[in-house]
Amino acid sequence: MNTSLQPLPEKDEKKENLDLGFLKIPKSSLPVIEKIILIVTLALAVYFFLPKLSSLEETANIFMSLKIWAVILAIGAQVLRAYGNGLTIQECVKITKQDFSIIRSSLIFMASYSFGLVGGGMFGSAAITYRWIRVSGGNAEGASLAASIPAFFISFVLSAVSIFGLVFLFLSNNLSTLQIISYILISFFLGAVGILLVIAMRHQQKSIEISIIIVRAIYKFLKKSFNEDKVSKELSSLFSAWNFLVQEGWKGPMMGSLISTLGDILTIFFLFLACGSHQSLLIVTTGYGLPNLFGRMAFMIPGGVGIIESTMVALYTSLGVENSIATVITLTYRLLSFWIPSLAGFFLLPYFNRLTSKSYQELS
């Protein structure tokens, strides 16, 4: 029998798509959809249940009585924060003697953060930042710095602000025994991470060898193929980028991270004014640092949703702020600093993806 006349076997769509009857969803999209559902669920939980910890009616009244001029100033502070984020990326690229637009840098930071929420967290955000800077005209060294450095600088600044807040809370006797123990453990953890980074920079080759052993063990546990040469090259590139940063100048990226954090703190300060509650920058800063640091440490929860809100309300309440005011300020702050920028970043993804598609062949 001539088998050449037989029809070719059809592709098994069930293996590639999830068939819901009225809708077929590509299985490759399921992890992204799962993350989006998680974020939406957490958002609904936070915004529906957190106000109920105080008087719901009182919370609603405070929302309605917010001073518009102060809210506008809070929005302006978020623009300052976006400028700081963009400046951090721009200065990383400029270290390699290449100019890069501050507006493009800010948009890349915003879009890459949104991408990281549903696509690999900090590592996914770093990878896509590198790609978008390359297709936007940046060189490989500048893209490597911009992809790896900002997260470390922002975490460093948040850690410093958090330690400052811990000292103030300890001196003002606003901490329970459990809180003191928890925060001391966190401080030890941050200190240990800092010491490990210093040791890694001083003994780079040994650090690469140890990292390869750890990564190989992880890949073996996940039953995935391990490309030692590729991992070694990526680690060497990372250390080269850090060496370049130390030699050529770290002040620009640090300034960008400081401006970003200052914009965030001023946002909360202006929201206190919007609620008619006059608090010092000392109180505002103390209640800001730890919750945001916890949010960055919670890798499994996108954007630290739920953790930042609950911790911030608890801290401000312990510092003498009324619970309903602390709730309104926290929810409004998160709306301005997380939800609106994240949604804006999602809308930017198609633009950068089209830019990547056009430049892919040239870069490869």
Q: What is the mean pLDDT of each run of 10 residues along the chain (364 residues)?
A: 47 48 51 59 56 55 81 95 93 83 90 78 79 82 81 84 82 71 72 77 82 80 74 74 70 90 95 90 89 73 72 87 87 87 83 68 48
User: Does residue 303 form part of some domain?
Assistant: yes
Q: Tens of pLDDT along 45-102?
A: 555 555 555 555 565 566 678 899 999 999 999 999 999 999 999 988 888 777 888 9
The answer to whether 115 and 342 are in contact (CB under 8 A) is no
Helix (H, G, I), strand (E, B) or coil at 18: strand
Residue 19 domain-assigned (yes or no): no
How confident is the model at residue 239, as a pLDDT?
76
Specify whether the CB–CB gap between 148 and 126 falls below 8 A: yes
340: Cα within 13 Å, side-chain hemisphere: 11
- Cα distances (angstroms) measured from residue 206 to each of 60, 220, 232: 57, 21, 12
If 0-12 CB within 10 Å is exposed, 13-18 middle and 19+ buried, where does residue 327 land?
buried
In a domain, 321, yes or no: yes
179, exposed or middle or buried, with CB in 10 Å at 0-12, 13-18, 19+?
middle
How many Cβ atoms from other residues are within 10 Å of residue 264's Cβ? 23
Nearest-angstrom CA–CA distance, 243 and 22: 55
Query: How far is the CA of 287 from the CAs of 17, 170, 291, in angstroms?
Result: 46, 13, 7
The CA-CA-CA angle for residues 145, 146, 151, to 5°, reads 100
Domain assignment of residue 25, yes or no: no
E strands, the chain, are 17-19, 24-26
Q: What is the pLDDT of residue 35?
A: 58
Q: What is the pLDDT of residue 328?
A: 86
Unique residue bearing structure tokens 């948040």 = 158
Residue 26, in any domain of the structure: no
- The answer to whether the CB of 50 falls within 8 A of the CB of 327 is yes
pLDDT at site 301 = 59
For residues 79 and 170, what is the distance between their CA atoms, to the nearest angstrom?
33
Q: What is the pLDDT of residue 8?
A: 46
Domain that holds residue 207: 71-363
Residue 74 is predicted with a pLDDT of 94
User: Helix 251-274 vs helix 281-297: angle between axes, to the nearest 10 degrees?
Assistant: 120
Instruction: Please answer whether residues 69 and 147 qualify as being in contact, where contact means their C-beta atoms are separated by less than 8 angstroms.
Output: no
Residue 37: per-residue pLDDT: 60
| Residue 47 in domain | no
Do the Cβ atoms of 124 and 107 come closer than 8 Å? no
Give the model's pLDDT for residue 171: 79
Both tokens of 70, joined, read 């102060």
Contact 27, 16 (CB under 8 A): yes
Is residue 59 domain-resident?
A: no
pTM, two decimals, is 0.75
Residue 323 has a CB neighbour count (10 Å cut-off) of 17
Query: Rounded CA gap, 312 and 286, in Å?
Result: 10
Predicted confidence at residue 284, as pLDDT, reads 92
Answer whether residue 62 is part of any domain: no
Our count of domains for the chain comes to: 1
Q: What six digits make up the tokens of 294?
A: 């916890």
